[in-house]
Structure 1
Amino acid sequence: MRHRYSVFFLPLHILADFFCLNAAFVLAYNVKFGSVSAVAEPPYATLWLVFNLVWLVIAIILKPYNFPRQLFKIDHLLKKQAMVIGVHVAAIAVYWVFTQAYYYSRDHLFYTYILFFLLGAAYRIGGLLFLREYRARGYNNRRYVVVGYGKLSKTITRFYDIHPEMGFRFCGFFDHSSSENRLALKGGYEDLATYIRDNQIDCVYCCLPYIDNTYLRQIVDNADDLDYQVKLLVDFRGFLSRGTSVEYHDFLPVLNLSSQILEDFRVNALKRAFDILFSLGVIVLGSPIFVAVALATRLSSKGPIFYAQERVGREGIPFTIYKFRSMYVNSEKAGPSLSQGLQDNRITPWGRFMRRTRLDELPQFFNVLKGDMSVVGPRPERQYFIDQIVEIAPEYRDLLKVKPGITSIGQVKFGYAANVDEMVKRLRFDLLYPERRSFGLDIWIIVQTVRVMMQGRGQ
């Protein structure tokens, strides 16, 4: 049976809220009056009944339990819960004034809503954590296919690969077969309907840059008969921003992109100001650490204290990056090569410690002050390796839209890469940054980086 357990989620959610509401009402009565013996007697019996009826009406009208999986997150759940409780408070206030029931205890009402929110939040958080783990293990999944093969179509599969807790299982690409995509396809357009029926596909993502309108119409027309959802993927990346708005001319939606430049300016100005202040703080307050690391580097092995190398920055512009030297001199005399991890015999014993704690990266704060780098951003690479990465993953070019950084999502989640294949794997994390960059995300990445440094888990 298809999704045999999913049908229980909605009634369980509703029943759980009614249990929390009634438990909160009774517990609040006990807190206020020291006993629950009279809670089911007038006048509180009437208020108790009104509480439940109002919540039922709100649930029917506002439908607070309808969440797509992509929005099934703690913040969305708690915001919706708080909003619905606010509506309930307003309705009870109207009832109170209309019936002139001023004999009800304000303290009781206050305690009821506080307990209701806490109980509801507790079961929502617990249920969400359970569902995430349950879906990450392969249960309660939604099967999906992608119609139209290209860069955009691989973006949606990468997103669900990174978020297995959402419970989406990829079942294949469908498109016209060619020499470039033949090995990646599950089938062509003529095979799609049969595959959907035989494999009980729940969702079909259609990539508008790669699909003809005629086939799109067929997919939409078949959706009711084969019981699947159709979702459109349109590649607006590169010119849409959070400042973009939608204007409606009668029934015609029009995208307003005029706030793009202003929004980009605000983000970049705030980020640059933070980079300068943060880097100055690290350099000034951490100067004793800089001196100690420099002395240890100089005394631990022959060679210079600093290591300089050309890297590729924003818009493909090369710059010189600085590090504390962690390898023996002339380690790359045979040509460019990546570190093979902490067991690489080119790394000095002191260098291994610096790499585990990321202390070798400290001189890059001077790169940040110069404007070549940012505190947070995808790690810069050498042109020699970029050429190899682009052959495998052309989307790497998206990282060149932002300044490279000292630390990144890829550095936190993956670490250093020992070969081009690992660089491509790390890429799937770093590609999240250009589209989602924000001050809050930067702070989160910095905190995670400090944690890695303190635990000595750098590779």
Structure 2
Amino acid sequence: MIKDNQKSLNRFHVVLDAFVTAFSYLLAWFIVIGSGWANLLGKRTLEVGFYFGALLVIIPAYLLLYSFFGLYTPKRVLGRRNEFGKIFKANTIGLLIFGLILYFGRKEPHLYNFSQRLVVYFYVLNVAFMTIERNGIRIVLRSMRSKGYNQKHILLVGYSSAAEGFIDRVNKNPEWGYTIRGIIDDTKERGSEYKGVKVIGCIEDLDYILEQNSLDEIAVTLSLSEYEKLRHIVALCEKSGVHTKFIPDYGNIIPTIPYMEDLQGLPVIHIRRVPLNDPMNAMVKRAVDIVGAIVGIVLFSPIMLIVAVLIKLTSPGPIIFCQERVGLHNRLFKMYKFRSMTVQDPGKEKSRWTTKGDARVTLIGKIIRRTSIDEVPQFFNILIGDMSLVGPRPERPFFVEKFKEEIPRYMIKHQVRPGLTGWAQVNGYRGDTSIIKRIEHDLYYIENWTLGLDFKIMFLTVFKGFINKNAY
């Protein structure tokens, strides 16, 4: 049965992870100490026995970290990026713990002399080799499953759009190793089918079907109109002892990525998953913002000085233009920009969009808008916490009020801090482009945020985000 296979695979994972961790540590020791490099650098080193003995603590500690981050949870459809993120987080926590032990234990001679270079090399090597190991196992398993081995046999209870969606995804991904044995439903005739999966009975047949078939899982895919049968179906499934999961038929009602929260035993389904609502994610992103803002201010300070002088010499008025924008949780804030237009009536400016050939834009303004240099002062907005390096671009209150009535889900962008750059901007949706497309990209970013995605957007911004043909 598939459960026994999963247990064996988990044990194999644990043993293999222990070997990989030990190999990474020993290779780091050889590079830094065994090869004599540390001695050449005049660093004091410990006896070989102490370094090797440390493995007795390191290996179980790292296995516990991998377990804590869910690396031994059976997830057939776990993506490479998701798994790499877990490996990276576990090893980063391990590095921090390692560093704290060495710091607070520095009065102990053995810990004082412990090579810090070895710790850093071990961290890099372990992340690399663990990723290679996990991807190798995934490739082997997916190859086996696509050939019909190690299959998980599933029965669908209820014909609905959720059932069709599940069948579509299973057919597109044979490497998941799912075999759908059939559907039972009260509204469809026996023998009717969807993409090769047949209706094999009605819901009253469930007890008999469970007795006569060896199944690994039952997926309840009832349509919304049949939810009153859910209690009876769950009772039958629990009686059989077969693992049961529920695939809700609300895809057409809530077209988002919901997630479940346990509220002291009460399951709460959140309509939209926002990773940045997690305090740890928010803290990490804020730390990156602060460091990035400081680096940006230092790097761009010569350019900012030159632009400030040019604006002052070529156009009367202030150098910095402050404009009210809507930010996190719909709060208003003052966004800073280099002034690129002639001084205007504030009342008219609030509700007017910049268009091609706009006479209000100054000569210097055209250059700094086209190259996005006018946005550089927003590093100060990031530093004080009004904005982030990456996020949906903030809009003026007048247009927010207008768009929230015209564009579905527009206001969801305010669940995260607005950004200096964003997923929509690096995909070409800046300036006078489709607002609907921009919102689609903003929602993708909000629901799929990772630190890796932030770095990807910043990287793309450097190479294709500064020059903007739609900035007038």
Secondary structure of 1:69's counterpart equals coil
Cα deviation for residue 104 of structure 1 reads 0.6
Deviation string for 1:181-234 (max 9, x for gaps)?
856411111222222333212222222425745642233223344332222222
Name 2:94's counterpart in structure 1.
Answer: 88
Name 1:114's counterpart in structure 2.
Answer: 124
Q: Any conservation in 1 of the 2:224–2:249 contact (CA below 8 Å)?
A: no
Cα deviation for residue 275 of structure 1 reads 6.8
Cα deviation for residue 238 of structure 1 reads 3.9
Name 1:51's counterpart in structure 2.
Answer: 58
Cα deviation for residue 129 of structure 1 reads 1.2
1:206 aligns with 2:220: yes
Name 1:227's counterpart in structure 2.
Answer: 241
Identity %: 19
Cα deviation for residue 124 of structure 1 reads 1.0
Shift in alpha-carbon separation, 1:39–1:53, aligned structure 2, 3 A: farther
Q: TM-score, normalization: structure 2? A: 0.51
Shift in alpha-carbon separation, 1:163–1:244, aligned structure 2, 3 A: closer
Between the aligned partners of 2:150 and 2:218, the Cα distance in structure 1 is 18
Cα deviation for residue 59 of structure 1 reads 4.5
Between the aligned partners of 1:180 and 1:225, the Cα distance in structure 2 is 25
Aligned pair partner of 1:253 in 249, 262, 268:
268
Secondary structure of 2:77's counterpart equals helix
Name 1:413's counterpart in structure 2.
Answer: none
Secondary structure of 1:18's counterpart equals helix
Aligned pair partner of 1:69 in 72, 76, 85:
76
Between the aligned partners of 1:140 and 1:52, the Cα distance in structure 2 is 30
Secondary structure of 2:54's counterpart equals helix
Secondary structure of 1:170's counterpart equals strand
Shift in alpha-carbon separation, 1:194–1:246, aligned structure 2, 3 A: closer
Between the aligned partners of 1:159 and 1:117, the Cα distance in structure 2 is 31
Following superposition of structure 1 onto structure 2, how do residues 26-425 of structure 1 map, counting pairs within 5 Å? 26-35=26-35, 41-59=48-66, 61-71=68-78, 73-100=79-106, 101-176=111-186, 178=188, 182=192, 184-209=198-223, 212-213=226-227, 215-242=229-256, 251=266, 253=268, 255=270, 260-263=409-412
Cα deviation for residue 83 of structure 1 reads 1.1
Q: Which 5+ residue runs of structure 1 have no aligned equivalent?
A: 281-368, 375-401, 403-432, 441-459
Shift in alpha-carbon separation, 1:57–1:245, aligned structure 2, 3 A: closer
Secondary structure of 1:231's counterpart equals strand
Which amino acid letter does the alignment assign opposite residue 48 of structure 1? L
Q: Any conservation in 2 of the 1:70–1:166 contact (CA below 8 Å)?
A: yes
Secondary structure of 1:216's counterpart equals helix
Between the aligned partners of 1:133 and 1:191, the Cα distance in structure 2 is 35
Shift in alpha-carbon separation, 1:84–1:274, aligned structure 2, 3 A: closer
Between the aligned partners of 1:31 and 1:166, the Cα distance in structure 2 is 40
Between the aligned partners of 1:59 and 1:255, the Cα distance in structure 2 is 27
Shift in alpha-carbon separation, 1:225–1:256, aligned structure 2, 3 A: closer
Name 1:338's counterpart in structure 2.
Answer: none
Following superposition of structure 1 onto structure 2, how do residues 420-435 of structure 1 map, counting pairs within 5 Å? none
Cα deviation for residue 236 of structure 1 reads 2.7
Which amino acid letter does the alignment assign opposite residue 148 of structure 1? G
Cα deviation for residue 142 of structure 1 reads 0.9
Shift in alpha-carbon separation, 1:213–1:117, aligned structure 2, 3 A: same
Q: Any conservation in 1 of the 2:2–2:150 contact (CA below 8 Å)?
A: no
Q: Which 5+ residue runs of structure 2 have no aligned equivalent?
A: 37-44, 273-403, 454-472
Between the aligned partners of 2:256 and 2:215, the Cα distance in structure 1 is 32
Cα deviation for residue 249 of structure 1 reads 7.7
Shift in alpha-carbon separation, 1:196–1:40, aligned structure 2, 3 A: farther
Moved more, 148-157 or 125-134: 148-157
Cα deviation for residue 66 of structure 1 reads 0.8
Q: Any conservation in 2 of the 1:28–1:115 contact (CA below 8 Å)?
A: yes
Cα deviation for residue 22 of structure 1 reads 0.6
Between the aligned partners of 1:218 and 1:151, the Cα distance in structure 2 is 21
Q: Any conservation in 1 of the 2:220–2:245 contact (CA below 8 Å)?
A: yes
Secondary structure of 1:5's counterpart equals helix
Q: Any conservation in 1 of the 2:261–2:269 contact (CA below 8 Å)?
A: yes
Moved more, 92-101 or 257-266: 257-266
Which amino acid letter does the alignment assign opposite residue 25 of structure 2? F
Between the aligned partners of 2:55 and 2:158, the Cα distance in structure 1 is 56
